[in-house]
């Protein structure tokens, strides 16, 4: 699997972010409603550019971030990917964000199987985990549908409060 190649689902296409996505990435990571559950403070335009540059050429790196776009209109829906890949421990952390206009429309339920497959198949991990704010009920509910269960944090975290949920390879995903 070439991680740089676009992937599609029923309603979305997933592709690496590029400089043409700068306004969308800036909007996503600077909006107060969006940043409510992020572990990072709102970004400025230069930091948005750095986000895009950081996630270029993901092959062989410990992180990947796709932009998620509407298949028909090409509208920016959000981002998803992984980071903190630990090949020795065979674990990886995933993360995602959906632009608020698309909340509660099932986009993460559509994206998670793709992300889970990449982690288990391409990375060969046995454990996928997510750290999230305990008040982010929609995110917690979504990952629980895929078998994620409460866990001790899989890495040291400075940002508080955070809870950890994990999915083990042998759990049958829907």
pLDDT of residue 171: 58
The count of C-alpha atoms lying within 13 angstroms of the C-alpha of 92, restricted to the half-sphere facing its C-beta, is: 24
Is the overall model pTM greater than 0.75, yes or no? yes
pLDDT of residue 133: 86
In this prediction, the residues of the chain whose per-residue pLDDT falls under 70 are 39, 158-160, 171-174
Here the tokens at position 14 are: 């997933």
Distance between CA atoms of 82 and 93, rounded to whole angstroms?
A: 6
pLDDT of residue 174: 41
pLDDT of residue 153: 76
- Ordered by start, the domain boundaries in the chain are 7-125
CATH for 7-125, options being 3.40.50.300, 3.40.50.970, 3.40.630.30, 3.40.50.720: 3.40.630.30
pLDDT of residue 57: 84
pLDDT of residue 146: 95
pLDDT of residue 121: 93
């Amino acid at each position: 699997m070439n991680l740089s190649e676009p992937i599609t689902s029923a309603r979305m296409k997933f592709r690496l972010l590029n400089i043409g996505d700068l306004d969308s990435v800036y909007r996503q990571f600077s909006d107060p409603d969006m940043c409510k559950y992020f572990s990072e403070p709102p970004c400025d335009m230069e930091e948005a550019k750095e986000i895009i540059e950081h996630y270029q050429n993901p092959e062989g790196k410990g992180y990947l971030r796709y932009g998620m776009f509407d298949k028909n209109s090409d509208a920016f829906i959000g981002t998803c990917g992984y980071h903190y890949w630990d090949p020795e421990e065979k674990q990886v952390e995933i993360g995602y964000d959906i632009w608020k206009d698309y909340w509660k429309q099932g986009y993460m339920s559509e994206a998670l199987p793709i992300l889970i497959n990449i982690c288990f198949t391409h990375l060969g991990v046995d454990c996928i985990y997510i750290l999230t704010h305990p008040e982010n009920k929609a995110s917690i509910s979504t990952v629980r549908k895929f078998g994620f269960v409460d866990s001790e944090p899989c890495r040291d975290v400075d940002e508080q409060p955070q809870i950890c949920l994990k999915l083990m390879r042998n759990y049958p995903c829907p």
